[in-house]
Amino acid sequence: MVVRMMSNASQNLPDDPAFLKAMIAALQAENAKMSATLQAHDQLIGELRLRIAKLKKQVFGKSSEKIEREIQQLELALEDLLIAAAENSTKPLDEVDAAVPAAPVASRPEKTMRRRPRVSEKAARERKELDPGTCCPDCGGELRLVGEDASEILDMIAAQMKVIEVARLKKSCRCCEKMVQLPAPSRPIPGSMAGAGLLAYILVSKFDDHLPLYRLNEIFARMGADIPDSTLVDWCGRAMQVLQPLIERIEAVVMSSDLLHADDTPIRVLDRSLRDKGLGKGVKKGRIWTYVRDQRPWAGAAPPGTVYYFAPDWKEEHVHHHLRQTSGILQADGYKGYGKLYEPGADGTGRFREAACWAHWRRDFHDIWISNKSEIAREALDRIGALYDIERDIAGQPADIRLAARQKHSTAKVEALRVWAEAQLTRIPGKGDLASAFRYGLSRWHSFCLFLEDGRVAMDNNAAERALRPIGGPESLRTPSLSICKHWKRLRVGDATRARLSGYRGLDRRRSQVAGPDLVRRAGNHLLSRQHLRLDQVAYPMVGNAQGRRSLCHGHPLAVLVC
């Protein structure tokens, strides 16, 4: 049928060559128009697929609080079922090391295997020996030691409340009748019964373990102390006041670094005034900014630290205020508010040199690859991945060694990536997401190459992104009102109070020190590297006259949130 129609159409064609050429030209123009339309449709389909993938990631990914809550509820239900199953089970429980896979044995009966708990080598240990004696129970002969079978039991000594009675003895001189008495030791809160260890326990329980004060009241009641909620509230506020000098000093030390990682994240804040005006549920969006100093990747001497700032909006004026006394290298994303910080001043140099984030650029290609399996995006991922392979080999090395390795192995790969990216821009649609991803990197190319000039600079800004993870997760900083500083401003000294906001878990190596009593005497740090004689001591008024006091350990992290 088709062949017959084509043959009939060919019989109706005119014999005039000029007319035939005109028909061919018209058909070519129509074909080009249809091809352009199809190409535009393909581009639109690709963009829509990418948008759908991003929306699905928002709905089903970790950023969805609704899904997070449902997952948490399901996990709690699953946990209850597992506990009930374990309660009804009579089988022996074998705990194995997660790093050593169990070899299957056909003849061995099936047993429930669990990962062995990981216990720090620094944890307190107690040895109990079960000695059968010196005489044989059968013949009465002398027993000799030939070996032992050792096993470990993980136990816990519950926290207990105790009253420390400080008796200041009065003595008189028999010769001159002079009365001698030692001065009373200083207290964290003058006139209060609260000791330093109790205050640390309350603050960590309230702001790290998220226990409301009325539950702490119940816990203390089981320990034999009835502490009213109003008293706990007052102790929290006064303890924050005691920590304020330390917080200000930590902020100054971290923000004086000449190499900072910066990032921000939105945070939902309740504002009752909006609800009173009938504007929705009374929730508005604020921002949390973080600035991270982390010299561990290049074996720097300064301890890592993080400073958090709250702002009611996303205006660039907040960034300029945070960094008003700072200069050097700023590693951040492409937020426009940083732009003026990089502009040259009167002397021709800018306050900051921009270091771009390769992980952020790589994420754009990853989203495109996930949405439409673009081979160009895949090749971009492979090329960037080759650079990260080099970075893994030099992680933790001194800056000069890192710089030499980058100049030897990475420089050529980076230049080849630039040439290849520019070539791809001439082949792909200019308005697509793939082209936008290429332009994002090429337009800031010098910033992406700064890590090839300075061994201290990281390839990405993951240090700041990791520091923001606790804020976007279930342990959110969401507060009951816009006066966030009322109960966060004076508390966020990460390892001084062992609170969780010191960022990602890699920074919280000493949080276990909260577990026992006498926190002050056991906290072996000097956060400020003995640079400040007064503030090197943890909340100096708390331990000013304490016997055997120590300072907080150098090389361990610190964090503070300032509003």
Helix, strand or coil, per DSSP, at residue 26: helix
pLDDT of residue 73: 57
pLDDT of residue 489: 38
The owner of tokens 């009804």 is: 88
The segment with the largest mean pLDDT, out of 14-23, 536-545, 551-560, is: 14-23
Looking at the chain, the number of H-run helices and the number of E-run strands are: 19, 10
pLDDT of residue 5: 44
* Closest to 288 measured CA to CA, from 92, 548, 544, 469: 469
The segment with the largest mean pLDDT, out of 79-88, 309-318, 510-519, 547-556, is: 309-318
- Reply yes or no on whether the pLDDT at 445 is more than 70: yes
Please report, for residues 61, 82, 83, 99, the alpha-carbon distance to residue 74 in angstroms, rounded to integers and kept in the order given. 16, 12, 14, 28
Q: What is the DSSP letter of 150?
A: -
Structure tokens at 255: 């923000």
- Reply yes or no on whether the pLDDT at 366 is more than 90: yes
Helix, strand or coil, per DSSP, at residue 442: helix
With a CB cutoff of 8 Å and minimum separation 6, the contacts of 316 are: 336, 337, 338, 339, 340
Structure tokens at 541: 């008024």
Q: Are strands 328-331 and 305-311 parallel, antiparallel or unpaired?
A: unpaired
CA distance 41 to 21: 30
pLDDT of residue 562: 53
The owner of tokens 């300029």 is: 320
Q: For 328-350, what is the mean pLDDT?
A: 89
- Reply yes or no on whether the pLDDT at 113 is more than 70: no
pLDDT of residue 208: 82
Helix (H) or strand (E) holding 288: strand 283-293
- Reply yes or no on whether the pLDDT at 398 is more than 70: yes
Q: For 131-159, what is the mean pLDDT?
A: 90
- Reply yes or no on whether the pLDDT at 305 is more than 90: yes
Angle between helices 196-207 and 213-222 (to 10 degrees): 130
Q: Model confidence at 163, in pLDDT bands (50, 70, 90)?
A: very high
* H-helix segments, 336-483: 339-342, 358-372, 375-393, 399-405, 411-425, 433-442, 445-448, 462-472
Helix, strand or coil, per DSSP, at residue 353: strand
Helix, strand or coil, per DSSP, at residue 258: coil
Helix (H) or strand (E) holding 522: helix 519-522
Is 208 within 8 Å of 201 (Cβ atoms)?
A: no
pLDDT of residue 478: 42
Structure tokens at 109: 């009966």
Q: Give residue-wise pLDDT tens across range 207-258.
A: 888 889 999 999 999 999 999 988 999 999 899 889 989 889 999 999 999 9
pLDDT of residue 378: 94
Is 446 within 8 Å of 289 (Cβ atoms)?
A: no
Report the 10 Å Cβ neighbour count for 529. Answer: 13
DSSP string computed for 98-109 = TTSPPPP-TTSP
CA distance 183 to 179: 12
Residues above pLDDT 90, as percent of the chain: 46
Is 316 within 8 Å of 307 (Cβ atoms)?
A: no
| AA identity, residue 553 | C
Strand partners, 559: 306
Q: Model confidence at 159, in pLDDT bands (50, 70, 90)?
A: confident
CA distance 309 to 290: 6
CA distance 447 to 461: 12
Residue 372 or residue 528, greater confidence: 372
Structure tokens at 316: 């660039």
Is 265 within 8 Å of 287 (Cβ atoms)?
A: yes
Report the 10 Å Cβ neighbour count for 397. Answer: 16
Of 80-84, 367-371, 404-408, the poorest mean pLDDT is in 80-84
- Reply yes or no on whether the pLDDT at 309 is more than 80: yes
Q: Give residue-wise pLDDT tens across range 116-129.
A: 788 888 888 999 99
pLDDT of residue 372: 87
Is 319 within 8 Å of 516 (Cβ atoms)?
A: no
The segment with the largest mean pLDDT, out of 154-163, 358-367, 497-506, is: 358-367
Q: Give residue-wise pLDDT tens across range 515-547.
A: 333 333 333 334 444 444 434 433 333 333 333
Q: For 39-47, what is the mean pLDDT?
A: 71
CA distance 491 to 562: 9
Is 232 within 8 Å of 216 (Cβ atoms)?
A: yes
- Reply yes or no on whether the pLDDT at 456 is more than 50: yes
Strand partners, 309: 289, 562
Q: What is the DSSP letter of 409?
A: I
Is 285 within 8 Å of 312 (Cβ atoms)?
A: no
pLDDT of residue 178: 93
Report the 10 Å Cβ neighbour count for 10. Answer: 8
Q: Model confidence at 28, in pLDDT bands (50, 70, 90)?
A: confident
Of 27-31, 86-90, 139-143, 473-477, the poorest mean pLDDT is in 473-477
* Closest to 416 measured CA to CA, from 443, 382, 439: 382
Strand partners, 329: 259, 353
Q: What is the DSSP letter of 427?
A: T
- What mean pLDDT, rounded, does the chain reach? 77
Query: Positive or negative, the Cα torsion across 52, 58, 62, 64?
Result: negative
- Reply yes or no on whether the pLDDT at 109 is more than 60: no
Question: Most distant CA pair in the chain: distance in Å?
Answer: 142
CA distance 200 to 515: 10
pLDDT of residue 77: 56
Q: Model confidence at 269, in pLDDT bands (50, 70, 90)?
A: confident
CA distance 383 to 362: 10
- Reply yes or no on whether the pLDDT at 322 is more than 90: yes
- Reply yes or no on whether the pLDDT at 137 is more than 70: yes
Q: What is the DSSP letter of 537?
A: S
CA 475-480-485 angle, to 5 degrees, is: 85
Residues above pLDDT 70, as percent of the chain: 69
* 472-482 as b/e: b if 16+ CB within 10 A: beeeebebeeb
With a CB cutoff of 8 Å and minimum separation 6, the contacts of 111 are: 91, 92, 93, 94
| AA identity, residue 94 | D
Q: For 498-502, what is the mean pLDDT?
A: 36
- Reply yes or no on whether the pLDDT at 494 is more than 50: no
Structure tokens at 269: 């804040």
CA distance 216 to 430: 60
- Reply yes or no on whether the pLDDT at 420 is more than 70: yes
